[in-house]
Structure 1
Amino acid sequence: MPGHDDEALSLDLYRICGGHLNDCKGAALMIDVLPKAQALLADRGYDADWFYAALTESGITPCIPSKANCKAPIPHDAVLYRQRHRAENMFGKRKDWRRAARSLR
C-alpha cells in the first residue's frame, strides 16, 4: 500500500492499540490488517508463540527478540532488528511536531 494508505494504516493501528493495552493484546487486534511485508520488526513486548505463528502463517518473517525470561529463546536477525530505530524516530518526530503545533495555539 503506497503513500496515504500506509499513513492511514499507521494511524488506525495507533488508535486500536493506543498506549493502554498490553502489546500482545494490541497485536491480536492488528494481525488481520497487516499489509504484505517480508518481515515485521517488533520489541520484546510482542514475543508470543501465537504471534510468531500468525506472522509465519501470513508469510511474514518475525524479527522479535525473545523476552529475558523466555525458556527457549527464538533467534532473530539482530542486524535487521537494529533498523527498528528508524520507525521509533519517525514516531518521535511526529510527537515533537504535534507538541510544537499545540504550543502555537
Structure 2
Amino acid sequence: MTTKILALTDALGNLVRFRLMPGHRFDTVGVPPLIDGIKFGALLADKAFDRNKIVADLNERGAKVVISQHPRRAKPIPLDVEMYKWRHLIENFFCKLKEFKRIAMRACKTDRSFEAMIYLAAAVINSR
C-alpha cells in the first residue's frame, strides 16, 4: 500500500496542515477537510485539483483560484500566471520533506507514526 500526503502550506512554504490519504484515492477527496476552518486569500494547486466542486468552494470563501487548467475544461478559468509561479514553494516543501529517509521510504508501519514523523520533519524544516 502507498500513502499520499496532501499538504497545505502558507505563503512562505511552511506546513500549515496535512492529511494522509490512501494511494488509490483521488487527491481531490482530501481537499475539503484540509482547508476546512482555515482562512486564506488564494489557493495554488496543479491540474489534479482542477475540479468544479473545489473551484465553487473557493469562490464561496472569496479565495482566489490559482489552479492550472485541465486541458479539457469546458469553461476555462483565468489563471494568474505570476501568482502561479509561487507554487514552487509547495514543491520545495515536499523536496525538503523527502530528505528525511523514513518519510521518503514510508518506513513507518502505522499512519499515526507516519504523521508524527511528518510533524517532526516539518518542525526541523521550519527551524532551519
Please report the TM-score for the alignment, with normalisation by the length of structure 1.
0.72
Query: Which of the residues 55, 60, 64 maps onto 1:61?
Result: 64
In the other structure, the counterpart of 2:81 is 78
Bigger strand fraction = 2
Matched, 1:36 2:39: yes
**Identical columns (%):** 33
In the other structure, the counterpart of 1:90 is 93
Query: Which of the residues 25, 30, 43 maps onto 2:29?
Result: 25
In the other structure, the counterpart of 2:101 is 99
Q: Which ranges in structure 2 are unaligned for 5 or more consecutive residues?
A: 1-9, 105-128
Amino acid at match of 2:50: D
Bigger helix fraction = 1
Amino acid at match of 2:40: A
For residue 43 of structure 1, report the CA deviation from its aligned partner. Answer: 0.6
For residue 20 of structure 1, report the CA deviation from its aligned partner. Answer: 3.7
For residue 51 of structure 1, report the CA deviation from its aligned partner. Answer: 0.9
SS in 2 for 1:76: coil
Over aligned residue pairs, what C-alpha RMSD do you find?
2.6
Q: Note if contact 1:64-1:81 (Cα within 8 Å) is conserved in structure 2.
A: yes
1:43-70 superposed Cα distances (whole Å, 9 cap, x missing partner): 1111111111111111211111210111
Q: Which ranges in structure 1 are unaligned for 5 or more consecutive residues?
A: none
Stretches (4+) displaced over 2 A: 17-21, 28-31
SS in 2 for 1:50: helix
Give aligned pairs, total.
92
Q: Note if contact 2:44-2:87 (Cα within 8 Å) is conserved in structure 1.
A: yes
SS in 1 for 2:95: helix
